[in-house]
Chain A
Amino acid sequence: MSVRETLRQMPGQGGPSLGNGLTARLHLDAPLLAALLLLVLGGLTVLYSAGGGSMEMVLRQALRLGGGLLVLVVLAQIPPRSYRFWAPMVYALGVVLLILVVLIGTEAKGAARWLHIPGIGRFQPAEIMKLAVPAMVAWFFSERNLPPRLTDVLVALALIFLPVVLIAIQPDLGTSILIAAAGLVVLFMAGLSWRLIGLALVALMIAAPLMYFFVLHDYQRSRVDTFLNPEADPRGAGWNIIQSKTAIGSGGVTGKGWLDGTQSRLDFLPESSTDFILAVLGEEFGLVGFLLLMAIYLVIVGRGFFISWQAQETFSRLLAAALTMTFFIYIFVNVGMVSGLLPVVGVPLPLVSYGGTSIVTLMASFGMLMSMHTHRRLMSY
């Protein structure tokens, strides 16, 4: 709560006036932008060490982040009503592309996730859906009275799970869970009755074991097995999680120091610059480093909630809340998996992990958040 209070009191922010200066004219939100830049810089520092001191890797990541910021700035200029207007069409296009992926997708590492379009290159349609699904559900509820009635809930669930299933069968469990979460957050924010939520939780508890035995792929099942008992195969599947816990644990309170983490520097930690980069941070900067990172993350999440709370109409409110919550889920799932709380699903640490299309998607979502915040006065009530 205090975070939000602080954010509200920031000069030039939250008041009826949009403030002045460069950020305002560019439809940017200064606190959010500052926190993002801080995160990105910290992330690059850790990446330099995680990549074994490779400046090339840092530059490439910086380039990607720069591109993401550009996308952020561009998307911030587009007013929210345009997002609302385009949401159904982007969603429909996304579903079509996902079907195409299932039919003619390019395989990589045993999963067909990529779509190769001549002239444009290859990309993952699932990334679009990270934004399109919450936008679509938010659009759907903005047309309805809230709290939603049962039929609306069912339609919303259908809208969510059509792309989620298409992504899950690629198979890409991590992304499908994130997209389902993004859609469900909209449903929750829209006022889904607590009775239904309770019912859904009970259903999930019953379904989870059934999913495990009948729905999951072998590799997904083995990940769950590994999560439940990593010591069973310490040299094989359990290796990642044992090594990352060792890295984090050996970091202690203050860490071993930048570039001095033996686990990552001596290659014991796999995926140290991508999904497991948090272990490098934990090893080299210790608990202090982790708390700093969490503080920056929580500032971003808090600012997102604040923007959502300030939003003036349903679509923006729901979408902003969903995008913010999704961002937090990223954080929770990644930190949870690297620290051994959750099974290993391929979720990067947002804006810190090396590479991935997720940077652009995340930056885009923050661009949309800023757009919602800075276009408020222009909206008709």
Chain B
Amino acid sequence: MRRPLTLKDHHHEQRIFSLRLLVGAVLVVALSLVLVGRMVWLQVSQHSRYTTLSDENRVQTQAVPPPRGLITDRNGEILAANRPDFAVELIIEQVPDLEATLTRIGQLVTLEPDDLERFHKRLSSPRRPWDPIPLRGRLSEEEIARLTVNQHRLPGVRVAANPVRHYPHGKLFSHVLGYVNRLSAEDLEGMTLTEQADYAGTYYYGRTGVERYYEHRLHGTVGHRQVETNARGRILRVLEEQPPVPGENLRLTLDMKVQKAAYNALGDRRGAVVAIDPRDGSVLAFVSRPGFEPNLFVNGISHQDYARYREDHDNPLFNRALQGRYPPGSTVKPFIGLAGLNAGVTDWEHTIFDPGYYQLEGNPHRYRDWKRWGHGWVDMNKAVVQSCDTYFYDLGFKLGIARMHDFLSDFSLGQPTGIDLYNESAGLLPSKEWKRAARGTPWFHGDTINASIGQGFMLATPLQLATATAILAHHGKQVTPTLAADELRPPPRPDIKLNDEGDWLRMERTMEEVVHGNRGTARVMAENAPYKMGAKTGTSQVFSVGQEETYNEEELAERLLDHALIISFAPVEHPAIAVAVLVENGRHGGSTSGPVARQVMDAWLLNDDGELDVPPPLPRTPASGESTP
């Protein structure tokens, strides 16, 4: 570097420097004023805004979900409860490294592939931010301890005690109670804003059955809690609390003893039993077999379990009692008989000769009776007791489909019974109008003849058959099957009046003979019975048999065998129970379904000593004032 030749002018340098120092000082003062100005702006002008932000930071309003109402049978037996369950949950927003965290948790508690699968499924589905996602429930005490000790190494992971819906009787009530499972984003979308607010913090939502239908009553009202939290979401103190209103406890009309009897009597056969108290429409038993394990669904069913249910040919998820549409077969004969009597196309004395088939004039087609050689001379009583088809072919033809349709409609056939369950099937009560609209073909005489023995197009659910039986047993008094003990449901239509009210009693006596007469098709039911009952058997064809064939049961695949049905009521004098039983591919109504119906009636009508002891109808106190008796 070149040395400067000039002498340093210290005085000049000092002057320059002092000036620059002054500029520096001015700059410092100016910049300081900028900082002070900024702080004044933040702390004075914007103070209230930032105070709000600060409070919003630390004070959080948490929704406190209400405990879901319990469900009991009519005697207070608990059918659905809430059980505390310790689960490890993750708040994703606070987990720094999800994979590492899952691995670490996996070292502390056993995680099945199912748990992880469910967790990832829930993680990828839309959810509320900062909502904890459960990873595994049913933690043991030791697992809880291990997680707690390692809490500091697992940010965003917590052990929570959540109430879990529990169905202590499992499959026994599965189809009637239904189940709850996790509230989904779709559920929330379908709600109004008020409803959404009410579901803040709620885990469960009724999915099927009673749980779904009475969701609004079982759910309760959400509570709120203002808490002070730190940045990690840990609650430091509760500032204010408005407790939730628990969901209502729901008492059902079901009777554990009757339900169990029905369930056990069906055994491993596919079928359904519906028992109704005709005095008030109480549903005493509502069974569809096979059932499913509702507890599997509560916290999200695994793929494996769900696939097993879906692939099961017995279709355990299908509610046969509510949605199964079956040809009612001969069980409609008492109703058709009443229709014929009421229309005047027949009377109790009228007889026909049954050669084993029925033919329309000028038509070679033979409508066959189930008894190949015929019943001989048959009147109404014999036609019902021995279930003569030919008599009813003749009666149905004379009655015509229009009158048949109208009369049977009054018994809730062809329309929903109005039970307090969703997705009830209406069955099918055919008419000329229906056939033209649905099939685009005209009505034929043959259609009427098939319908008069409950075959052809006619379809009914076991629930409809039980309801129709209850109406018949109470001489046309309408009932609506009801599951909630405090629900008073107005009858759907006026009571049925017959031209001769005495026909009710005579038809009942006739049905009594089906059980207690020596030629009755359900005489197997009468064995050692301490009370009298009425019944009508039915065998509905799954498979139609050709004109000149006799069919061999053994040769048919089991699934093509006839369904066995029975409708029954007891005691005959003052009916307190009406039962419909369906056994899929059970072949004979009397021998297969009859004993099932008998066991159900025994469970209701007999006391522990086997004596007749008819329980009084359930005292009904309406929950709301909307309906009056």
Residues of A that sit less than 8 Å from B by CB: 1, 4, 143-147, 155, 185, 188-191, 235, 242-243, 245-253, 262-263, 266-268, 282, 286-287, 290-291, 294, 298, 301-302, 305, 308-309, 314, 317-318, 321, 325, 328, 331-332, 335-336, 339-341
**Complex partner residue of A341 from B4, B12, B38, B228, CB under 8 angstroms:** B38
Given the contacts A185-B24, A294-B32, A336-B35, A253 and B44 also touching, CB distance less than 8 Å = yes
Q: Cβ of B242 < 8 Å from any Cβ of A?
A: no
For B44, the chain A residues whose CB sits under 8 A away are: 252-253, 287
User: Across the two chains, which residue of chain B brings its CB closest to A239?
Assistant: B231
Task: Give, as a whole number of angstroms, the nearest-CB distance from B580 to chain A.
Answer: 60
Q: Complex formed: what's the CA distance from A187 to B53 in Å?
A: 45
For B53, the chain A residues whose CB sits under 8 A away are: 242, 246, 249-250
Q: Identify the 7 closest CB pairs spanning chains A and B, nearest first.
A: A249-B50, A250-B54, A266-B230, A267-B231, A191-B16, A249-B42, A250-B50
Given the contacts A145-B9, A191-B20, A266 and B31 also touching, CB distance less than 8 Å = no
For B28, the chain A residues whose CB sits under 8 A away are: 298, 301, 305, 325, 328
Q: Complex formed: what's the CA distance from A302 to B50 in Å?
A: 33
Task: Give, as a whole number of angstroms, the nearest-CB distance from B509 to chain A.
Answer: 79
Task: Give, as a whole number of angstroms, the nearest-CB distance from A238 to chain B.
Answer: 13
Q: Complex formed: what's the CA distance from A302 to B13 in Å?
A: 21
Q: Cβ of B51 < 8 Å from any Cβ of A?
A: yes
For B13, the chain A residues whose CB sits under 8 A away are: 146, 191, 314
Given the contacts A262-B54, A266-B229, A287 and B25 also touching, CB distance less than 8 Å = no
Candidate in A155, A266, A301, A328 with the most chain B CB atoms within 10 angstroms: A266
Given the contacts A245-B42, A246-B57, A268-B57, A145 and B4 also touching, CB distance less than 8 Å = yes
How many residue pairs at the A-B interface have CB separations less than 8 Å? 143
Task: Give, as a whole number of angstroms, the nearest-CB distance from B625 to chain A.
Answer: 50
User: Across the two chains, which residue of chain B brings its CB closest to A286?
Assistant: B43
Question: Cβ of A305 and Cβ of B25 under 8 Å apart?
Answer: yes
Q: Could you give, for residues 1-37 of chain B, a 1 whenever the CB lies within 8 Å of some chain A CB and a 0 otherwise?
A: 1001010110011001110110011001001101110
Task: Give, as a whole number of angstroms, the nearest-CB distance from A251 to chain B.
Answer: 6
Task: Give, as a whole number of angstroms, the nearest-CB distance from B390 to chain A.
Answer: 81
**Complex partner residue of A339 from B35, B54, B230, CB under 8 angstroms:** B35
User: Across the two chains, which residue of chain B brings its CB closest to A149?
Assistant: B4
For A242, the chain B residues whose CB sits under 8 A away are: 53
Question: Cβ of A266 and Cβ of B236 under 8 Å apart?
Answer: yes
Question: Cβ of B47 and Cβ of A249 under 8 Å apart?
Answer: yes
Q: Cβ of B58 < 8 Å from any Cβ of A?
A: yes
Task: Give, as a whole number of angstroms, the nearest-CB distance from A284 to chain B.
Answer: 12
For A341, the chain B residues whose CB sits under 8 A away are: 34-35, 38
**Complex partner residue of A332 from B20, B31, B47, B51, CB under 8 angstroms:** B31
Q: Cβ of B40 < 8 Å from any Cβ of A?
A: yes
For A185, the chain B residues whose CB sits under 8 A away are: 24
Question: Cβ of A309 and Cβ of B36 under 8 Å apart?
Answer: no
Given the contacts A253-B43, A339-B42, A328 and B31 also touching, CB distance less than 8 Å = yes
Task: Give, as a whole number of angstroms, the nearest-CB distance from B54 to chain A.
Answer: 4
Q: Cβ of B39 < 8 Å from any Cβ of A?
A: yes
Residues of B that sit less than 8 Å from A by CB: 1, 4, 6, 8-9, 12-13, 16-18, 20-21, 24-25, 28, 31-32, 34-36, 38-40, 42-44, 46-47, 49-51, 53-54, 57-58, 93, 228-232, 236
For A4, the chain B residues whose CB sits under 8 A away are: 25
For B46, the chain A residues whose CB sits under 8 A away are: 249
Q: Complex formed: what's the CA distance from A321 to B47 in Å?
A: 37
Question: Cβ of B17 and Cβ of A298 under 8 Å apart?
Answer: no
Q: Can you report 19 residue pairs joining A to B where beta carbons are below 8 Å apart? A: A144-B4, A146-B13, A147-B16, A189-B20, A190-B17, A190-B20, A191-B20, A246-B50, A246-B53, A247-B50, A249-B43, A249-B47, A250-B47, A252-B51, A262-B58, A282-B42, A301-B28, A305-B25, A328-B28
Question: Cβ of B47 and Cβ of A1 under 8 Å apart?
Answer: no
For B6, the chain A residues whose CB sits under 8 A away are: 145
Candidate in B12, B57, B58, B230 with the most chain A CB atoms within 10 angstroms: B57
User: Across the two chains, which residue of chain A brings its CB closest to B45?
Assistant: A249
Question: Cβ of B32 and Cβ of A298 under 8 Å apart?
Answer: yes
Q: Complex formed: what's the CA distance from A302 to B22 in Å?
A: 11
**Complex partner residue of B24 from A188, A248, A252, A314, CB under 8 angstroms:** A188
For A336, the chain B residues whose CB sits under 8 A away are: 35, 38
For B58, the chain A residues whose CB sits under 8 A away are: 262-263, 266, 268
Task: Give, as a whole number of angstroms, the nearest-CB distance from B56 to chain A.
Answer: 9
Given the contacts A189-B17, A189-B24, A249-B47, A290 and B39 also touching, CB distance less than 8 Å = yes
For B230, the chain A residues whose CB sits under 8 A away are: 266-268
Task: Give, as a whole number of angstroms, the nearest-CB distance from A146 to chain B.
Answer: 5
User: Across the two chains, which residue of chain B brings its CB closest to A141?
Assistant: B13
For A321, the chain B residues whose CB sits under 8 A away are: 17, 20-21, 24
**Complex partner residue of A335 from B8, B12, B24, B35, CB under 8 angstroms:** B35
Question: Cβ of B35 and Cβ of A248 under 8 Å apart?
Answer: no
Candidate in B24, B31, B47 with the most chain A CB atoms within 10 angstroms: B24
Given the contacts A267-B231, A332-B35, A245 and B50 also touching, CB distance less than 8 Å = yes
Question: Cβ of A252 and Cβ of B47 under 8 Å apart?
Answer: yes
**Complex partner residue of A309 from B18, B54, B93, CB under 8 angstroms:** B18
Question: Cβ of B231 and Cβ of A287 under 8 Å apart?
Answer: no
Q: Complex formed: what's the CA distance from A4 to B18 in Å?
A: 13
Q: Complex formed: what's the CA distance from A298 to B26 in Å?
A: 12
Question: Cβ of B47 and Cβ of A309 under 8 Å apart?
Answer: no
Question: Cβ of B35 and Cβ of A268 under 8 Å apart?
Answer: no
Question: Cβ of A249 and Cβ of B24 under 8 Å apart?
Answer: no
Question: Cβ of B228 and Cβ of A266 under 8 Å apart?
Answer: yes
Q: Complex formed: what's the CA distance from A232 to B70 in Å?
A: 47
